[in-house]
Copies of this chain bind each other. A is one copy, B any other.
Amino acid sequence: MMSSGMNVNTQQETLFVIKIGGNVIDNETALAAFLKDFAAVNAPKILVHGGGKIATKIGEQLGIESKYINGRRITDDNTIDVVTMVYGGLVNKKIVAQLQALRTNAIGLTGADANIIPATKRPVKIINDSPVDFGWVGDIDVQQLQADNLKHLLEKGFTPVFAPLTHDEQGHILNTNADTIASAIAVSLSQFYKVRLIYCFEKKGVLEDVNDDNSVIRNINKEKYQQLLNENKLFEGILPKIDNAFAAIDAGVSEVLIGDAKDLIKNTTTSTEGTLITQ
């Protein structure tokens, strides 16, 4: 068995930070099945959920058009209200109510609640020689997270469920990518726990052959990653996910797992189905 060189305290309790995306959120049956598995994970755990297509649908019904500049989506005043309603209200509270029915004591949060995730409104950027104001989008500085407040909630037996929203400490809710929130929480809590960060996506893991679901690469460390890159074995879409995983690991997270939402139970044990990424 390999041991992580970074993990100085082997006595630490394991915490699972689990991110599910829009594909699960949008499918009522898949979501119910996932939440049943999530409730069965018998360890401290945090859920971070994406938004799904429902925000776009409700925005359209309200006559709010999605705005893009240079292909980048802009979060204007109307859009932040819609995502605050849909992510922070509808999606988050439905998940909380369903977890309560499964006897998991969920508490739904945005980054504004208990000031857990302060963020900074993204500054205007020059893209293709034009200034782009992304609107109410929040960038996180992991050092600013109020990890103590989150730890208190975990210690009281609550299971935090995060919507992909933060705040600017000046009274505004900000839109923040759910993968980024999951990673920031995982990094921040790695000072107290041995953290496994799990990204649920639409494949069983990182595949050696994109067209073969049985070609999951079970373990990737930095050496193996370099080897796979040299052999040109990875499809391009997966590279940012692996790079982000190593960034989280370099910042203190013990393990990052990329796998299918349907494999959650196995992926919270030592015999994982997905791709386990370690130092």
Contact = CB atoms under 8 A, between A and B. Distances in A.
A100 B116 CA distance: 11
A87 interface: yes
A63 to B, nearest CB: 7
Contacts of A108: 109-110, 112-113
Contacts of A61: 61-63
A85 interface: yes
A84 interface: yes
Interface in A55-100: 58, 61-63, 81, 84-90, 92-94, 96-98, 100
A219 to B, nearest CB: 37
A167 interface: yes
Given A93-B112, A114-B107, A100 B171 contact: yes
Interface string A101-128: 1000111111011110000000000000
Contact of A89 (B92, B96, B156, B170): B92
Given A89-B89, A107-B114, A108-B110, A173 B58 contact: no
Contacts of A86: 85, 89
Contacts of A165: 93
A115 B110 contact: no
A101 B170 contact: yes
A8 to B, nearest CB: 28
B171 A97 contact: yes
Contacts of A85: 58, 85-86, 89-90
Q: Which of A115, A152, A168 has the most CB of B within 10 A?
A: A115
A250 interface: no
A53 interface: no
Contacts of A87: 89
A169 interface: yes
A171 B112 contact: no
Interface of A: 58, 61-63, 81, 84-90, 92-94, 96-98, 100-101, 105-110, 112-115, 149, 152, 156, 158, 165, 167-173
Given A58-B85, A98-B171, A101-B170, 13 more contacts: A62-B62, A84-B89, A84-B94, A88-B89, A88-B92, A88-B93, A89-B90, A89-B92, A97-B167, A97-B168, A101-B169, A106-B113, A107-B113
